[in-house]
Amino acid sequence: MGAVLATVLVAYSLGFCVLASLSSRFQRPDWDAVAARLGEPDAPRAVVSWTLGHAALRYYLSTGSFQAEPTDGFTWFVHEVDFVSNGPAPPVPARLIGPRFRQVGYERVGGLRLRRYALPGPDVARLRLRGVRDAQLGFGSNGVLVDGIGPP
């Protein structure tokens, strides 16, 4: 009986290993590709994405980005807000980012999607930190990375 149970467990483990290697559903998100699409910031920006993906995204961005929290007590001003979603997601409502932001891009990056919003011209606006964290991105929790900026 023990040999049969061991054989079943080994077969199950082997099958799962093969499935995890072949199925994109079991792979981690391609944060390197997202960072490449984001590129270097031309102006102050915020990147809203999965909280658990921030460490990888910060590593691949290598631009000095850092996670901003509403409890930090800072007011951030940005020119661009980028949203990384887990698959297709609805456009972000203006009430979350501000009425002057316009969508300037939407593309698939591996299994993720990148939706970009920017202000016209060189303007900057206050980042609605609590609002952008409420965007529907298909992750369990959203966080915000700020990039190319510092406290005012």
**How far is residue 4 from each of residues 1, 8, 9, 10, 62, measured CA to CA in Å?**
5, 6, 9, 10, 51
d(CA 99, CA 22): 43
98 near 125, Cβ under 8 Å?
yes
> What pLDDT was estimated at residue 148?
85
Mark out the alpha helices in 23-102 (DSSP H runs): 31-38, 54-61, 94-97
pLDDT at 116: 97
Give the separation between CA 64 and CA 137, rounded to whole angstroms.
24
Distances 28 to 21, 22, 88 between C-alpha atoms, Å: 11, 13, 17
pLDDT of residue 150: 52
Question: Crossing angle for the helix pair 54-61 and 31-38, nearest 10 degrees?
Answer: 50
Give the pLDDT score at 34: 94
d(CA 45, CA 84): 13
pLDDT in tens, the chain (152 residues): 989 999 999 988 888 777 777 766 666 788 999 999 999 898 999 999 999 888 899 999 988 888 888 888 888 999 999 999 998 899 999 999 999 999 999 999 988 999 999 999 999 999 999 899 999 998 888 999 999 875 44
